Chain A
Amino acid sequence: MRFGIMSFAHLHAEGFVGNLRAIPGLELVGFSDDDTRRGEHVAQTFGVRWFAHHEELLEAGVDGVIVCSENARRRELVALAAAAKVHVLCEKPIEVTLADAEAMRDACETHGVRFMTAFPMRFEPSIRAVKGALERGELGSLHAAAGINHSEIPKAHRAWFADKALAGGGAVMDHTVHLTDLLRWYTGSEVSEVYAEVGNPFYPGEVDVDTAGLVTLTFADGFFASIDCSWSRPTSYPRWGHLKMELFGERGAVRVDGFAQSLTAYSRHLPRNPSWLAWGADPNQAMIEEFVASIEEAREPAVTWRDGYEALRVALACYASADAGQPVTLDR
């Protein structure tokens, strides 16, 4: 199977190179990027063939691509890939408006290609173990959750994350989608109401997007959950951030930390001192393997366009709620 990466705008693309190369029988054909400097840099650093135009990568013959562009440029790339009959694994949030997201679905349906949303935490072993525990009824019926997806401001790595036009928003756009997806997956229920406090307390004057958000989701079955999506970790933090949550049910509570499996390392040779070095499985590996398997087996991937769309819908509802100062209802 032949694979490509469309755009290296998203930092995750760097890790995906190693993930793709680790899959036996998979050939990483190259990547496309219309940014010449980045293209040359990535080609040199990772030894991957660079295509200056996305069409050239697709013409080189690939079965699947991972779309790692800026949020607001995914529709364009997904449409190109779909038209070339290439299956798509798409970074999150899948786009910045619902209309763009719907157009992506339409393009994939028209050309008969698969679309998977890149929600790697679904493949993290501890997160999966909790899913299993919930399915076995260990917590009884589920009442509430408190979720945290903190990070440092990502603009140090990629400036566009804090650019409203390219990212569609800030911390809320970046970080509500992961936990929203996990909570939808855990509950099997859809979000019916969103309340959000949104602001820019951390980098006022430096960026024009939100850097903090406290979100409350209420699900159709009455379950509620908060998500703290703030870029509230300082750049001196031992890691980029974390994703964790506590779930409350009729039989007690379960806390899960998707990044707990790490060493604390103190070294002046590390970029962060101290550093939390992950030793657990890389969930991106299992995510990409699932995408590859879905192509080989000609079936829907475990995480679909719908999952990406519903999460985007919640993120956008957060901004609507913050504007109104009141909860907003999501119609079904």
Chain B
Amino acid sequence: MRVGIVGAGSMGRVHAAGWKAAGAELIGVTSQFGETARELARVHDARAFDDLDTLLAEVDVVDLCVPSDLHHAMTLRAAQAGTHVICEKPIALSLADGEAMIEACERHGVRLFIAHVVRFFPQYRLAAQAAQAGQLGELGVMRLRRVSYPPRQGAASWFADEARSGGVVLDLMVHDFDYACWLGGRVERVFAKSVKMAHPDAPGDYVQATLRFEGGAMALVEGGWAYPPGTFRTGFDLAGREGLIEWDSDASESIQRSLLPGEPGTAAAVGLPLSVLAEDPYTTQIKHVHAAIASGEPFAVSPRDALEALRVGLATRASLRSGRSVAPAEVS
């Protein structure tokens, strides 16, 4: 399987390693910042491409690790070129764009996978398995939290540009919206509150969304870039009629360091909530995608799932704007 990566930022680098581990043939990398593409290509003995279309002509699968506002246009180009598409979450920044991506891939007979990687984190996977096996009984209240620090470079980062990333709601919380929908089903209504960053480098962007599912369960999804650099905490609490699962990233740190201060600014530009694992979940995800494409088996996360997570995210944003509860079904 010949793979090309678009975007050589933190996710492009992580995915490239995943493809190598999966045994795929990493053909090349392209990036709007040519130097980062050349560097990533060099690391993996691949080629740097100057433009997307040249890369598409030489690969079976393209992996889009680019700002979210580019997902739609690039997916359409890749589908047209007959290339399978792996695309970072969120699927797109609007439902119409997401629908168009799904439709284009179907029309051109290529596969589309949206990288909702949280489903491949072993603790999330284990908890979901327990819930789906009925060990918790019917779910009543879920709590899902994902609070990190502002992506570095402040305002210069595309993450901080809501028009490009969708902000905390669509970039970060969409992970937990997907997970919540995976376990809870369809969301009936959403109510959300947020606080905006006082200035680009200060912690402060923080959102809470309360979800009510059609089946009666409820969830509190908490997301933010609200910590000082280096702190990234995730956690969940799944309470059902017959059981409960608690998990907190602080409580399961397998290594705790107490060292003299080293290099300043050692926090990664964009935080990843990684435990010390035999295999990082990004690699688990890429291996799954690799195997599913090779075998023709369905993906563990369908593009429709990704669209539902986006829909909940858009309902969250609509609630933030209106100050009212919003039905995702009514979001356009």
Question: What is the bound-complex CA distance between A126 and B140, given in angstroms?
Answer: 30
Is there an interface contact between A202 and B220, defined as CB atoms closer than 8 Å?
A: no
Residue from B195, B216, B224 within 8 A of A201 (CB atoms) = B216
Interface residues of A in 241-266 (CB under 8 A from B): 248, 250-253
Whether A228 sits at the interface, judged by CB under 8 Å, is yes
- Chain A hits for B226, CB < 8 A: 143, 248, 252-253
Interface residues of B in 190-218 (CB under 8 A from A): 191, 193, 195, 198, 202-204, 206, 208, 210, 212, 216-218
Where chain A touches its partner, the secondary structure class is strand
Q: How far apart are B169's CB and chain A's nearest CB, in angstroms?
A: 14
- Chain A hits for B212, CB < 8 A: 197
Is there an interface contact between A252 and B203, defined as CB atoms closer than 8 Å?
A: yes
Is there an interface contact between B224 and A216, defined as CB atoms closer than 8 Å?
A: no
Question: What is the bound-complex CA distance between A195 and B45, given in angstroms?
Answer: 55
Question: What is the bound-complex CA distance between A189 and B222, given in angstroms?
Answer: 23
A202-B239, A214-B141 as given contacts; A226 in contact with B220, CB under 8 Å? yes
Q: How far apart are A48's CB and chain B's nearest CB, in angstroms?
A: 37
Where chain B touches its partner, the secondary structure class is strand
Is there an interface contact between B244 and A233, defined as CB atoms closer than 8 Å?
A: yes
- Chain B hits for A211, CB < 8 A: 140
Interface residues of A in 204-247 (CB under 8 A from B): 204, 211-212, 214, 216, 218, 224, 226, 228, 230, 232-234, 237
- Chain A hits for B219, CB < 8 A: 214
Whether A44 sits at the interface, judged by CB under 8 Å, is no
- Chain B hits for A287, CB < 8 A: none
- Chain B hits for A148, CB < 8 A: 143
Whether B243 sits at the interface, judged by CB under 8 Å, is yes
For the A-B complex, the count of residue pairs with Cβ-Cβ distances under 8 Å equals 105
Residue from A216, A250, A326 within 8 A of B198 (CB atoms) = A250
A234-B243, A250-B203, A327-B323 as given contacts; A144 in contact with B195, CB under 8 Å? yes
Is there an interface contact between B203 and A224, defined as CB atoms closer than 8 Å?
A: no
Number of interface residues of B (CB under 8 A): 38
Whether B241 sits at the interface, judged by CB under 8 Å, is yes
A143-B195, A224-B195, A226-B220 as given contacts; A201 in contact with B325, CB under 8 Å? no
Q: Considering the complex, give the chain B residue whose CB is closest to the CB of A226.
A: B208
- Chain A hits for B140, CB < 8 A: 199, 201-202, 211-212, 230, 232
- Chain B hits for A146, CB < 8 A: 145, 208, 220, 222
Is there an interface contact between B220 and A201, defined as CB atoms closer than 8 Å?
A: no
- Chain A hits for B139, CB < 8 A: 201
Is there an interface contact between B204 and A325, defined as CB atoms closer than 8 Å?
A: no
A150, A197, A252, A327 interface centre (most CB from chain B within 10 Å): A197
Whether B39 sits at the interface, judged by CB under 8 Å, is no
Q: Considering the complex, give the chain B residue whose CB is closest to the CB of A142.
A: B195
Interface residues of A in 284-332 (CB under 8 A from B): 325-327
Question: What is the bound-complex CA distance between A267 and B296, given in angstroms?
Answer: 53
- Chain A hits for B138, CB < 8 A: 201
A212-B141, A214-B141, A251-B203 as given contacts; A199 in contact with B208, CB under 8 Å? no
Residue from A143, A150, A326 within 8 A of B324 (CB atoms) = A326
- Chain A hits for B243, CB < 8 A: 234
Is there an interface contact between B210 and A216, defined as CB atoms closer than 8 Å?
A: yes
- Chain B hits for A201, CB < 8 A: 138-141, 216-218, 241
Residue from A150, A212, A252 within 8 A of B218 (CB atoms) = A212
Whether B89 sits at the interface, judged by CB under 8 Å, is no
- Chain A hits for B242, CB < 8 A: 234
A144-B193, A216-B210, A224-B208 as given contacts; A253 in contact with B222, CB under 8 Å? no
Q: Considering the complex, give the chain A residue whose CB is closest to the CB of B219.
A: A214
Whether B111 sits at the interface, judged by CB under 8 Å, is no
A143, A211, A233 interface centre (most CB from chain B within 10 Å): A143
Give the interface residue-count category, chain A: 20 to 34
Whether B228 sits at the interface, judged by CB under 8 Å, is yes
Whether B189 sits at the interface, judged by CB under 8 Å, is yes
Is there an interface contact between A325 and B325, defined as CB atoms closer than 8 Å?
A: yes
Residue from B193, B195, B216, B227 within 8 A of A252 (CB atoms) = B227
Question: What is the bound-complex CA distance between A126 and B203, given in angstroms?
Answer: 24
Question: What is the bound-complex CA distance between A232 and B218, given in angstroms?
Answer: 12
Q: Considering the complex, give the chain A residue whose CB is closest to the CB of B207.
A: A144
Q: How far apart are A29's CB and chain B's nearest CB, in angstroms?
A: 43
- Chain B hits for A325, CB < 8 A: 189, 325
A199-B218, A230-B140, A232-B239 as given contacts; A326 in contact with B325, CB under 8 Å? yes
Q: How far apart are B195's CB and chain A's nearest CB, in angstroms?
A: 4
Question: What is the bound-complex CA distance between A195 and B208, given in angstroms?
Answer: 12
Question: What is the bound-complex CA distance between A59 and B149, given in angstroms?
Answer: 62
Q: Considering the complex, give the chain B residue whose CB is closest to the CB of A322.
A: B212
Is there an interface contact between A197 and B203, defined as CB atoms closer than 8 Å?
A: no
Q: Considering the complex, give the chain A residue whose CB is closest to the CB of B324.
A: A326
Q: Considering the complex, give the chain A residue whose CB is closest to the CB of B188.
A: A325
- Chain A hits for B143, CB < 8 A: 148, 228
Question: What is the bound-complex CA distance between A71 and B243, given in angstroms?
Answer: 29
A146-B145, A212-B218, A327-B323 as given contacts; A230 in contact with B206, CB under 8 Å? no
A–B pairs, 12, beta carbons within 8 Å: A143-B206, A144-B193, A146-B222, A201-B138, A201-B141, A214-B141, A224-B193, A226-B208, A232-B140, A248-B204, A250-B203, A327-B324
- Which 8 interchain pairs have the tightest Cβ spacing? A201-B140, A232-B239, A143-B195, A224-B193, A197-B218, A214-B210, A230-B141, A248-B226
Using A201-B217, A201-B218 as known contacts, list a sample of 9 further A-B pairs with CB atoms less than 8 Å apart, ordered by residue number in A: A143-B204, A143-B226, A144-B195, A226-B220, A230-B239, A232-B239, A237-B244, A325-B189, A327-B324
